[in-house]
Chain A
């Protein structure tokens, strides 16, 4: 006597093995379900389909790729060979390639269905990819035939427990619609123009039995194969509550005596501070000082930069008496440089957040915001993207310095991208014309806990570092670097 089969009613899932895709699918593909991957030619669906098979086989499954008037198997395998996921040992073992066209031509959709049933059972396949499904649609006599084919296939693969992916670039809107209504999941791949560039994105438009991260998510095809980057704002930072007040949180010092005094001791843990200023106003140096001060307290810091090479940064810092080399050698400061050219903002964010987690980073400098902005293809995403990123950083308790350039030298300029509400502090570095000279002036123009000194302070940058002068009429705030004299011998990682 068989029991009531309770276990069989919960359809199990398996991970795709493709970075990011399981996050979007909220857990992977359902065993025994039928998915339609829809894309124009050249979008990457064949690579994606085959990568899924290789990943599935690597995880212990068995897969079959059935092709219908696509490239020959020898050419297909030759094209797949350069990818990191390609494992020659899998081909012919856990992964089989079968041509389905003869069965389709001689027996129409019924013939193709018989072939699929046979190969799935013969190969004990747990994943079936049917590439060139558009041909099956073209060979059918009616939309009803296609629906019937999908229905029977669906019933069969559910019985056998073989997840099935139909890859198509279907141009027949009727057939496409018919199939869309039937399948358990629909994944669309897009290529959009962004100026002279092209951007790939993936969208789960149907997902029976499960939520999915809706909307488009960028993906790239590299030597590693397909990597999908779930849109930052669709999954990161959603669970972070803004009840996590910074008031009372411990402070992190910049190590610049005058500046720390202006902030009432430093900036709060988990806070985001925007350092605004004209080019060469000292924004980066403020950030590097924060990292160095953290390193002196054995706190790990990360410089995440877009525009300036690490070697130049080290030199500039050294010219102000700040030697980062020992901190870097001790693993207390990491320098990560990335090109904003053709970068995917979501990929950058994943790299950043992963590094923060893996390295246990407590202090972060993002230099500058323009790097992230430039790598966002759709500018209207910026506010939501930054909100998600800032929530994530806040949740990790990381002290973050963000730099951004102003277009003026002397006037205050509030960032025009709607970020101010998400920032805890804004520090503005300006150049002010005084008689025959130019003076540097810094001011706190926003501080969330409001305990600091918001009056403008003159400052200089020289071999002693950043030296902040007292505000006019105020008493002196100290030397260039807090306890500079006393710390001469403790600039290294073991200084404290």
Chain B
């Protein structure tokens, strides 16, 4: 089962995306900030990282920079989510970041799922009992 690391301090969004992604047949591990996200990255070895930008402790940019410093996660796809524009979210004083996809909040589930599938393919099938 493909694993997605979902990093966001907005707990309701994490809860909902986790349930929806699980229904699609993905394994989801969650973290509430960039620091925890980096720790879970090493322990869970995900196929995809989906992260918010503005978070306490360490933000999404810190997480992506931390990932890129790790050889084994240098090519792991990253989806950045933010209420700001792509240009603002992906650049700061330290320079510009490259991510696989950017989703501006608020977004719709269909848009989110389409992005995930385009990067790591579909999940292992519906878990939900009709």
Complex CA distance for A121 and B19, rounded to whole angstroms: 12
Is B12 on the interface with A (CB-CB < 8 A)? yes
Is A158 on the interface with B (CB-CB < 8 A)? yes
The reply to whether B103 and A161 form a contact with Cβ atoms under 8 Å apart is no
The reply to whether A154 and B85 form a contact with Cβ atoms under 8 Å apart is no
Q: Which residues of A contact B20 (CB under 8 A)?
A: 159
Q: Which residues of A contact B15 (CB under 8 A)?
A: 152, 155
- The digit string for B103-120, where 1 denotes a CB below 8 A from any CB of A, is 111111101100100000
Is A106 on the interface with B (CB-CB < 8 A)? no
A348 to chain B: closest CB distance in Å?
42
The reply to whether B115 and A32 form a contact with Cβ atoms under 8 Å apart is no
Q: Which residues of B contact A122 (CB under 8 A)?
A: 130
- Chain A: residues with Cβ within 8 Å of the partner, total of 24
Complex CA distance for A155 and B83, rounded to whole angstroms: 14
Given A118-B128, A154-B12, A2–B102 Cβ distance below 8 Å?
Answer: yes
Is B101 on the interface with A (CB-CB < 8 A)? yes
Contact of A155 among B16, B85, B104, B108 (CB under 8 A): B16
Centre residue among B20, B107, B112 by max chain A CB count within 10 A: B107
Complex CA distance for A478 and B54, rounded to whole angstroms: 85
- The digit string for B86-112, where 1 denotes a CB below 8 A from any CB of A, is 110000000000001111111111011
Q: Which residues of B contact A151 (CB under 8 A)?
A: 12
A354 to chain B: closest CB distance in Å?
38
Centre residue among B20, B105, B108, B130 by max chain A CB count within 10 A: B108
B19 to chain A: closest CB distance in Å?
7
The reply to whether A155 and B13 form a contact with Cβ atoms under 8 Å apart is yes
B86 to chain A: closest CB distance in Å?
4
Which of A5-13, A215-223, A286-294 lies on the face that meets chain B?
Answer: A5-13
Counting residue pairs across A and B whose Cβ atoms lie within 8 Å, the total is 69
The reply to whether A156 and B102 form a contact with Cβ atoms under 8 Å apart is no
Complex CA distance for A114 and B102, rounded to whole angstroms: 29
Complex CA distance for A256 and B105, rounded to whole angstroms: 69
Q: Which residues of B contact A161 (CB under 8 A)?
A: 108-109
B39 to chain A: closest CB distance in Å?
25
A326 to chain B: closest CB distance in Å?
62
Complex CA distance for A246 and B15, rounded to whole angstroms: 65
Q: Which residues of A contact B16 (CB under 8 A)?
A: 117, 152, 155-156, 159
Is B36 on the interface with A (CB-CB < 8 A)? no
The reply to whether A117 and B19 form a contact with Cβ atoms under 8 Å apart is yes
Q: Which residues of A contact B115 (CB under 8 A)?
A: 2
B23 to chain A: closest CB distance in Å?
8
Is A353 on the interface with B (CB-CB < 8 A)? no
Q: What is the chain B residue whose CB lies nearest that of A2?
A: B101
Given A159-B17, A159-B20, A8–B108 Cβ distance below 8 Å?
Answer: yes
- Chain B: residues with Cβ within 8 Å of the partner, total of 29
Complex CA distance for A171 and B104, rounded to whole angstroms: 39
Complex CA distance for A384 and B112, rounded to whole angstroms: 50
By secondary structure, the A interface counts as helix
Is A4 on the interface with B (CB-CB < 8 A)? yes
The reply to whether B111 and A8 form a contact with Cβ atoms under 8 Å apart is yes
A415 to chain B: closest CB distance in Å?
55
Is A160 on the interface with B (CB-CB < 8 A)? yes
In residues 4-20 of chain B, which contact A (Cβ within 8 Å)?
Answer: 10, 12-13, 15-17, 19-20
Given A159-B20, A159-B112, A5–B13 Cβ distance below 8 Å?
Answer: no
Q: Which residues of A contact B79 (CB under 8 A)?
A: 2
Q: What is the chain B residue whose CB lies nearest that of A122?
A: B130
In residues 109-125 of chain A, which contact B (Cβ within 8 Å)?
Answer: 114, 117-118, 121-122
Contact of B106 among A2, A9, A114 (CB under 8 A): A9
Complex CA distance for A5 and B83, rounded to whole angstroms: 10
The reply to whether B100 and A8 form a contact with Cβ atoms under 8 Å apart is no
- The digit string for A5-32, where 1 denotes a CB below 8 A from any CB of B, is 1101101000000000000000000001
Complex CA distance for A32 and B16, rounded to whole angstroms: 14
Given A2-B115, A4-B86, A117-B19, A158–B106 Cβ distance below 8 Å?
Answer: yes
Q: What is the chain A residue whose CB lies nearest that of B89?
A: A4
B122 to chain A: closest CB distance in Å?
17
Complex CA distance for A161 and B113, rounded to whole angstroms: 14
22 contacts between A and B (CB under 8 A): A2-B111, A4-B102, A4-B104, A5-B102, A5-B103, A5-B104, A6-B85, A6-B104, A8-B108, A9-B83, A11-B106, A32-B106, A118-B128, A151-B12, A152-B12, A155-B13, A155-B16, A156-B16, A159-B106, A159-B108, A159-B109, A161-B109
3 nearest interchain CB pairs? Answer: A5-B104, A155-B12, A4-B86
- New A-B pairs, 16, CB < 8 Å, besides A8-B104, A8-B106, A32-B106: A1-B100, A2-B101, A2-B115, A3-B86, A3-B102, A4-B102, A5-B103, A6-B104, A9-B83, A32-B108, A151-B12, A154-B12, A156-B16, A159-B16, A159-B106, A159-B109
